[in-house]
Amino acid sequence: MMSILNEALYFHDKPDLDTLIDRLQKHTLISKNIINPVIVLNNQDNIQSTPEVIKPVNYNIIELVGIEDKNEDFISPKQIDSLFWCLYIANFGYNDYVTINRNYGIKELEIKKNVIDYLKNNPNKMKETNYKITKIIIQEVMSDLMTSQKETSIHCLLAIISMFNMNIIMIDSNRQFLLEFNSNNDNQKNISTYLIKKDKHGKYHINTEPITNEDIDKLKNEIICLENYMKPMKSISGYKIEELEELSQKVGINILDKNEKRYKKQELYYLIAEIVKWA
């Protein structure tokens, strides 16, 4: 892999964009069906995660760094609060995110003020999400939005997607678990859903294209859908033994104990609960 990268990316002089695209396409680093990509280089001509963006006219922007799945193009915001900027990118687009340039702090404050005003004018909107929201939580969210936070909380996420009118599906780095965040749990019509990945370092990455209903169904069949980021499973009465056995297979638990007897419902439930946690 390194030899391919060296061959594809080594130049005596800094290349023009078309030359670099041709070189990368030749070595299959960029699929030929991707139209108008922009390649990000630093002064040493190496791809990096906090780039100086080369932005020619009429080119769409795609970041190669942070793509962890060959079938999914994930953007990795360079800011510490990567979750906030993932939400920003989903709503406004990556091109808009890049044009902010050095004024990210000002833009973040502007958006958060808009969210606060939105909550004041629409005090019940957060209650339309798929999470139980109280007046106390709403007050805490507005307080958090008024202060500088290193990381956007889940409750602040719910407030932001309420204003943006979007849904989020969040998956962990191992693609074992997912969490759903719906801005309007009762009315999903004409609401786009975006996929966010949380890596093992706690950094978030966003797929800039809305995920289709077909792909959502596929994800839910392949990955365990947690009930809540704090309470990942329903109460034991909410499961049939067959459902727990299916869950156990997804997390790698043998449904037979050391004596080759099937686990009882309660035993299997607690074995699964020990593994199914949102990091």
Planar angle of CA 248, 254, 259, nearest 5 degrees? 140
Query: Which residues are CB-neighbours of 237 under 8 A, at least 6 positions away?
Result: none
In this prediction, residue 167 has a pLDDT band, given cuts at 50, 70 and 90, of very high
Q: Is the pLDDT of residue 276 over 90?
A: no
Domains of the chain listed by start with CATH number: 1-62 (no CATH), 82-224 (3.90.70), 236-275 (no CATH)
Structure tokens at 30: 């960029």
Percent pLDDT > 70 in the chain is 74
Mean pLDDT for the chain? 78
Enter the DSSP assignment of 211.
P
9 CB contacts (<8 Å, ≥6 apart)?
A: 23, 24, 45, 46, 47
Specify the long-range contacts of residues 249-258, CB closer than 8 Å, at least 24 apart: 250/176, 250/223, 250/224, 251/176, 251/224, 251/275, 251/276
For residue 42, what pLDDT is reported? 36
Q: Check pLDDT > 80 for residue 102.
A: yes
pLDDT digits over 201-239, tens only? 999 999 999 999 999 999 988 888 998 888 889 899 999
The reply to whether the predicted model has a pTM over 0.95 is: no
The predicted model gives 130-154 an average pLDDT of 92
The yes-or-no verdict on residue 16 having pLDDT over 70 is no
Q: What pLDDT is stored for residue 51 in this prediction? A: 36
Quote the percentage of the chain above a pLDDT of 90. Answer: 50
